């Protein structure tokens, strides 16, 4: 595959054709914040936190879904980028009910960690305080739409790693939500294999082990990484 040469934050780097700016930046050591991205599954550009500037393009582009091109000049950090990332992040918080203090994922939450790193100490938008239900019908797992950021990681691992296709995104705009099978209670979703990959993939407390209490939802993402890289690495038994 042909290599492409581009500039990231003033440094010349080369990347394989078809690679994303995010991949190229990672190799070049530039840190771009991500939320909906999960190593091993394809990207959808849902969260808009990895926005970068590309010279000659007036709008900001998501690094996770923009492919590298020859001669591209990328900036991963600027006042404008930080401002837009923060706006997007605050909108995520304002849209649902994120109450860290009593959340099962408190202390182990990617959304929370990102808030700290992006310097989000307050939200400038009115909270919408929507009324969302909690689905605890499944015998092992729970789904709390209040804490969902619609990153769709759960949907992607369900379809493309497990191959079950239980999870989907339904609705439009602010009414978008994750559903199981044909929008039925989780326990009635016959396609679900109860594998728990969605729970491992969730960046927030939206998907959790049933019975979890505050801060108990620690995830082990190495399990996902093992599954995704098993073929590539030829390692078929999970490392300890």
Residues of this chain that bind other proteins (CB under 8 A)? 101-102, 104, 131, 133-137, 139, 142, 144, 210-216
Calpha distance 63→29 (Å, rounded): 14
CB of 199 to other proteins, least distance (A): 15
Nearer to other proteins, 11 or 188 (CB): 188
CB of 139 to other proteins, least distance (A): 8
CB of 134 to other proteins, least distance (A): 6
Nearer to other proteins, 62 or 205 (CB): 205
CB of 183 to other proteins, least distance (A): 17
CB of 75 to other proteins, least distance (A): 42
CB of 127 to other proteins, least distance (A): 14
Nearer to other proteins, 89 or 186 (CB): 186
Calpha distance 230→36 (Å, rounded): 22
Question: In three state form, how does the secondary structure of the chain look?
Answer: CCEEEEEECCEEEEEECCCEHHHHHHHCCCCCCCCCCCCCCCCCCCCCCCEEEECCCCCCEECCCCECCCCCEEECCCHHHHHHHHHHHHHHHHHCCCCHHHCCCCCCCHHHHHHHHHCCCCCCCCCCCCCCCEECCCCCEEEEHHHCCCCCHHHHHHHHHHCCCCEEEECCHHHCEEEECCCCCHHHCCCCCCCCHHHHHCCCCCEEECCCCCCCCCCCCHHHHHHHHHHHHCCCCCCC
Are 145 and 174 in contact by the 8 Å Cβ rule? The answer is no
Nearer to other proteins, 136 or 191 (CB): 136
Nearer to other proteins, 25 or 104 (CB): 104
Nearer to other proteins, 142 or 203 (CB): 142
Nearer to other proteins, 15 or 103 (CB): 103
CB of 132 to other proteins, least distance (A): 9
């Amino acid at each position: 595959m042909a290599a492409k040469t581009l500039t990231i934050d003033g440094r010349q780097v080369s990347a394989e054709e078809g690679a994303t700016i995010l991949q190229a930046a990672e190799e070049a050591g530039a840190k771009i914040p991500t939320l909906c991205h999960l190593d091993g599954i394809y990207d959808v550009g849902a969260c808009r936190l990895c926005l970068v500037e590309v010279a000659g393009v007036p709008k900001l582009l998501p690094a996770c879904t923009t492919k590298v091109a020859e001669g591209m000049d990328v900036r991963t950090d600027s006042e404008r980028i930080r401002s837009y990332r923060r706006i997007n992040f605050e909108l995520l918080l304002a849209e649902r009910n994120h109450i860290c203090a009593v959340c099962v994922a408190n202390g182990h939450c990617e959304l929370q960690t990102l808030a700290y790193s992006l310097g989000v100490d307050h939200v400038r938008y009115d909270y919408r305080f929507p009324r969302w239900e909690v689905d605890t019908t499944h015998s092992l797992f729970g789904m709390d739409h209040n804490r969902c950021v619609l990153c769709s990681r759960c949907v992607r691992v369900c379809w493309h790693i497990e191959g079950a296709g239980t999870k989907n995104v339904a609705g439009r705009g602010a009414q978008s939500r994750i559903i199981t099978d044909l929008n039925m209670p989780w326990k009635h979703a016959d396609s679900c294999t109860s594998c728990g990959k969605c729970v491992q993939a969730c960046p927030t407390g939206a998907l959790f082990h049933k019975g979890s209490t505050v801060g108990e939802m620690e995830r082990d993402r190495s399990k996902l990484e093992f599954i995704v890289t098993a073929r590539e690495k030829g390692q078929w038994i999970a490392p300890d």
